[in-house]
Amino acid sequence: MSTNNHQIILNIRFKIKPGKKEAFRESLFAMISNFKSEPAFVNAIVSDDLDHSDDLVIYEIWQGTRESWVQHELTKPYRAEYEGALTNLIDDRIVSWLEPVGEWGSALTNVRR
């Protein structure tokens, strides 16, 4: 993990094409296997949406800033293959960039309340 105190959170909702959820999940998990050893990586949680069966959400915590993530993580070669596969697997992707300001119950972020 990096020594800087900045963190960025990506909350990404994927609207998966009908019948493609397992194929998408396999592709996503393969990508996570690649990035989980990156120095800036902190944590990722993948969740199914109980109210929308074709939606899947990933919540990622990274050391650094939005700009450093785009510069250093988005350019990784394994991401190109993953991005190429998404066209056949998802209808939409909604990305929210978040900055932690408080945390209770764990110690994943650099903020305490």
Instruction: Give the CATH number, domain containing residue 69.
Output: 3.30.70.100
- Where do the DSSP E strands lie in the chain? 7-16, 41-48, 55-63, 90-98
Task: Dump pLDDT digits (tens) for 12-33.
Answer: 999 999 999 999 999 999 999 9
Note whether residue 90 is domain-resident: yes
The pLDDT value given to residue 89: 97
Total number of domains in the chain = 1
Note whether residue 30 is domain-resident: yes
Does position 86 have pLDDT exceeding 50, yes or no?
A: yes
List of residues 6+ apart from 73 with CB closer than 8 A: 35, 38, 40, 62, 79
Domain that holds residue 11: 7-98
Please state, as a whole number, how many other Cβ atoms lie within 10 Å of the Cβ of residue 102: 8
Total-model pTM: 0.90
Note whether residue 69 is domain-resident: yes
